[in-house]
Each structure stands twice: as C-alpha cells, then as structure tokens.
Amino acid sequence: MVIFVARALVHRLAGVRWEEIHVQPYFLGLFILCMFAMTLPAAVTSRLLLASVCRPPRWREMLAISWLSRMGKYVPGKVLSVAGAVYLLRRRGVPGALATSIIFLNSLLLVIVGIMMAAPLVLWEPVRKATSVGWVPGLALIGIGILLLHPRILLATVNAVLRKLNRPPLQRMPRMRDYFKPVVCVLCHFPLAGLATWLLARSLTDVPAAWLGIYISGTALAATMGFLALFAPGGLGVREGILLLILTPSVGAEMAALIAVTLRLFQILIELIMAACALLILRREPNMAGTATGVAAEGRR
C-alpha cells in the first residue's frame, strides 16, 4: 500500500503547476501554530488521567515524555513509542503497569473519538455515491462511540486488551469529574488537526471555509487509520492515501498530493523540534539521566 500511495503522490506532484502557487504567509503561519498546538493534547490527556489515579510527573516532564516517546511511532509496530513512554514514566515514579494502562487508555480514547469524528463522512456526497450508504451507519458509529466512552465500558475494554497482552488490568477508572477533562482534551485534537490541514490548503490555494467540516472528518479518519496501521511507521502511506481521497474534490488531484506531502514534512520537522526540546528538559532532571539508553533498552525487551 505504501508503494502504491508513493507512486500516486509522485505522479500527481509531477503535474503541479508551481508557477500558479502563491503561498499566503498569514494562513501558513496559522497552520504552523496549529501544528505546534497539536503536540499538546496527548501529553495533557495522559497527565490528567494519571493525576486521577496517582501522583503524575510535573507538566514540563509530561510534555517532554510525550514529545520524546512520540518519535517511536516511526519504528514499525510502534512498540518503541509505548515502551519509551512507560520507561520515562517509571523514572518519574509511576508504576510500570499503571503507566502501560494509562497509555492504552489514552490510545483507545483517541481511536474512539477519531472514528466518531470521521463518522459524518458517510453523509458526504462522494462517499454516498461510492458506497450507497445512508446516514444510519454514521449515526450508529457515533452512538457506539458515545457508549464506549462510558468509564465502565471503557475500563472493561482496556482491561480486555491488557489481558490479551499479559499485562495487569487497570483496577479503576478516573472518577467522572476527573474523566471529563481528558475526554474533552482528546476531542480538541481532531478539530485542531482538521483546521491545520485546511489552513495549509488555504495557504496554497483558494479553499472555502465551508470545506472545514469535511477536512476535520477526513483528517480524523486519516489519522485514526494511520494510527491503527501498525505495519506503517507513523501511518506513512495510509494517512496520505486517505488524504488524497478526501482533499481531491476540493483542490484537485495535484494540489491534494502537494498538501499531503507538505503536511507530512511539517509534522516530522515539528516532531523533531519538540523531541529536541524534550531532551533539553530531561537533561535538566536528575532522575532522567540516561534517558536515551534506557528507552532503547526498554524497546528491545
């Protein structure tokens, strides 16, 4: 699939009329701000979940842990990302079993909300023509998502996964008043991602704001499927393939390819910047000495 998408991207990029592209700095600047803002929700969600069941790391430490461990997703299987986060949390006094449970809980929340955000695409005319589905599947997905977000059902789901992985189950979920904040935080991630995609497109071509809803749902679908595709490092190829399908009706095939590739390049660049910032933060923490060596060792277990 990665090879197929790569060929499609190269073919479409070859048809881009570069002389007709006039970058608008205002929208490009807002896009970059959105991309940096997208590095925050995962760390905030994890810390809020941890704070409800134990003493969490400090905010700057939690941000650093999130930024650094995120680079592990570019290793096939994404195991290093989880192992790195667990190791770093253990260094801050969080039990390994609890750290693993919170990471899976965070990931499951992300997947559930992502599918819910993508569900409105079934009402989009191109999807309706291609699949002949009505509004019922989309409404059903949203309803199932809301049901799965209930703390008791989510706890049972997380524990079922942990048992399959031979990991200790999570004993209790955060209280409802503590659970609401991380869910809201996860809900903020995909609108930010969709807005970033639209701002990038708007900086390169004329895309009406009416497309923003489609961009949010489409980006949610692309990000969620990329996350679930364990064979694809960082969702490479999967996310771009979905974005090509979603963006083409609004900007054309060539521009859709340019946006998808540019979005990936900016994401990698910003993640590298944040990982460098994380290393600087962790080097100042005495309990974090030997971080890089420890993360690598944890990933090999």
**Lowest-confidence segment of 141-145, 219-223, 234-238 by average pLDDT:** 141-145
- Structural contact between residues 70 and 46, judged by C-beta atoms closer than 8 angstroms: no
Q: What is the pLDDT of residue 291?
A: 40
Q: What is the pLDDT of residue 73?
A: 87
Q: What is the pLDDT of residue 287?
A: 56
CA angle 275, 280, 281 (to 5 degrees): 95
Average pLDDT, the chain: 84
Q: Is 88 helix (H, G, I), strand (E, B) or coil?
A: helix
Could you tell me the pLDDT band of residue 146, with boundaries at 50, 70 and 90? confident
Out of 15-24, 72-81, 281-290, the most confident range is 15-24
CA atoms within 13 A on the CB side of 180: 2
Reply yes or no on whether the pLDDT at 294 is more than 50: no
Could you tell me the pLDDT band of residue 290, with boundaries at 50, 70 and 90? very low
Task: Determine which helix (DSSP H) or strand (DSSP E) holds 256, and give its type and residue range.
Answer: helix 253-283
Reply yes or no on whether the pLDDT at 228 is more than 70: yes
Out of 11-15, 106-110, 241-245, the most confident range is 241-245
If you average pLDDT over residues 45-62, what whole number do you get?
A: 88
**Global confidence as pTM:** 0.86
- Residue tagged 């970059």 (tokens): 32
If you average pLDDT over residues 243-263, what whole number do you get?
A: 93
Query: How crowded is residue 206: how many other Cβ atoms within 10 Å of its Cβ?
Result: 9
Tokens of 227: 């996350």
Could you tell me the pLDDT band of residue 173, with boundaries at 50, 70 and 90? low
Question: Residue 82's domain spans which residues?
Answer: 2-11+20-300
Could you tell me the pLDDT band of residue 289, with boundaries at 50, 70 and 90? very low
Reply yes or no on whether the pLDDT at 10 is more than 70: yes
If you average pLDDT over residues 5-34, what whole number do you get?
A: 89
Task: Name the domain count of the chain.
Answer: 1
Q: What is the pLDDT of residue 132?
A: 65
With CA atoms as reference, report the closest residue to 224 among 111, 75, 124: 111
CA distances from residue 278 to 78, 209, 232 in whole angstroms, order as listed? 19, 35, 25
Could you tell me the pLDDT band of residue 195, with boundaries at 50, 70 and 90? very high
The span from the CA of 102 to the CA of 93, in Å, is 14
The span from the CA of 290 to the CA of 301, in Å, is 17
Reply yes or no on whether the pLDDT at 301 is more than 50: no
195 or 181, higher pLDDT: 195
- Structural contact between residues 113 and 45, judged by C-beta atoms closer than 8 angstroms: no
